[in-house]
Amino acid sequence: MRILYVAMRYDYGRPEQGDSFEHGNFYDSLRNLGHEIIYFDFMSLQEQLGRPAMNRRLLEIARSERPDLMFCVLFRDELDRDTIRQISEIPETTTLNWFCDDHWRFDHFSRHWAPSFNWVVTTDSAAVAKYASIGYDHVIQSQWACNHFQYRKLDLPILHEVTFVGKPHGIRREIIQMLRRCGIHVRVWGHGWGNGRATQEQMIEIFNQSRINLNLSNASTHRRHKWQRALDHAGHQINRILGRQVNPARVNLLTTSATDQIKGRNFEIPGCGGLLLTGAADNLGDYFHLGQEVVTYRDFGSLVDQIRYYLSNEAECAQIAEAGYRRTLNEHTYAHRFREIFEQIGLQQRNPEHTSSHAA
């Protein structure tokens, strides 16, 4: 297909932070799947031209190029809703936006933008009913995945016992400190940690070379008050682990919830052949056999127990990692996701051998 790809080229629009998630996963997968891409980096063009001129250019390109699909990943309000609606009325073009954060952003963001698009994608299982409540029914529930063109198994030795890649926001720094106090050495990468940010290539190597890869899925949210309910229980867990009394008020962490959001890491780590140890998340069991293909923890005590168990049982650790790898390649790549989405909206790839892209 011919796709007008409308998203940020750089992480949060900042070139100094490297490529965005969208670029490294959506764009790279679409390009490698053989689609012809017209690249429209709205953030960079807005800085160059200003918001009104950037939107005029987008409309001009859509009208002149008549792409099969305009694939968008909105950030804030850089685009204009009337511009999107006008493009949605072009007979040859289907417009679609992938909403990334409907778990917490639906009410104040997604619900206002969705009606401008022909179709939208959500990763939140509860959001389909929310869209229906506003009278919008062209919504597809999909999920994050692994870009298998980038994330892959490498022939590298295990160098790290336990690793975490991600920023130290929320309570992540506290969690890592407590794990280390429990005698578990965790190596960490990301903006704000001593090792700094890992490039995508370095991150893929880390996933490959770690015995256990942590995904602290719920630790980045702002809902600290929900964790307070588990403080007494967490205090007993830490006391048991450390063999001494610890003030529960300092153990403000980590009771997981099935409402936590699945992230790309849930598929990228298994896609590299690594063992994923993650918090519970929205419908994660629909994508993996828990305990057989990926491993989950309930709270801080079970996180420590799981780490200790799998470090002591390397064969079982490797067996689960291999099963997660096979499941990911067979069912959870962006090739699978896009094929299902395009079939649902009535679009088919016409020339799978042709690969090209150019910038707007």
Q: Each residue's pLDDT tens digit in the chain (360 positions)? A: 999 999 999 988 889 888 999 999 999 999 999 999 999 999 999 999 999 999 999 999 999 999 999 999 999 999 999 999 999 999 999 999 999 999 999 999 999 999 999 999 999 999 999 999 999 999 999 999 999 999 999 999 999 999 999 999 888 999 999 999 999 999 999 989 999 989 899 999 999 999 999 999 655 444 444 444 433 444 455 555 555 444 443 444 555 555 578 999 999 999 999 999 999 888 999 999 999 999 999 889 999 999 999 999 999 999 999 999 999 999 999 999 999 999 999 997 544 444 446 666
Statement to judge: residues 249 and 263 lie in one domain: yes
Statement to judge: residues 115 and 44 lie in one domain: yes
Statement to judge: residues 173 and 139 lie in one domain: no
Task: Note whether residue 165 is domain-resident.
Answer: yes
Q: Domain range for residue 46? A: 2-145+334-359
**Cβ neighbours of residue 321 closer than 8 Å, sequence gap 6 or more:** 270, 273, 274, 275, 276
Statement to judge: residues 319 and 347 lie in one domain: no
Q: Where residue 252 sits, what CATH number does that domain have?
A: 3.40.50.2000
Statement to judge: residues 273 and 315 lie in one domain: yes
Statement to judge: residues 6 and 126 lie in one domain: yes
Domain count, the chain: 2
Q: What CA–CA distances, in Å, run from 28 to 34, 115, 320?
A: 10, 27, 28
The pLDDT score that the predictor gives to residue 257 is 53
Task: Note whether residue 155 is domain-resident.
Answer: no
Task: Please state, in angstroms and rounded to a whole number, the distance separating the CA atoms of residues 47 and 319.
Answer: 49
Statement to judge: residues 167 and 216 lie in one domain: yes
Statement to judge: residues 129 and 238 lie in one domain: no
Statement to judge: residues 164 and 234 lie in one domain: yes
The pLDDT score that the predictor gives to residue 136 is 98
pTM confidence score: 0.87
Task: Note whether residue 230 is domain-resident.
Answer: yes
Statement to judge: residues 104 and 179 lie in one domain: no
Statement to judge: residues 171 and 318 lie in one domain: yes
Task: Note whether residue 152 is domain-resident.
Answer: no
Report the b/e string of 118-145 with b at 16+ CB within 10 A: bbbbbbbbebbebbeeeebeebbebbbb
Statement to judge: residues 99 and 231 lie in one domain: no
Q: In residues, how long is the chain? A: 360
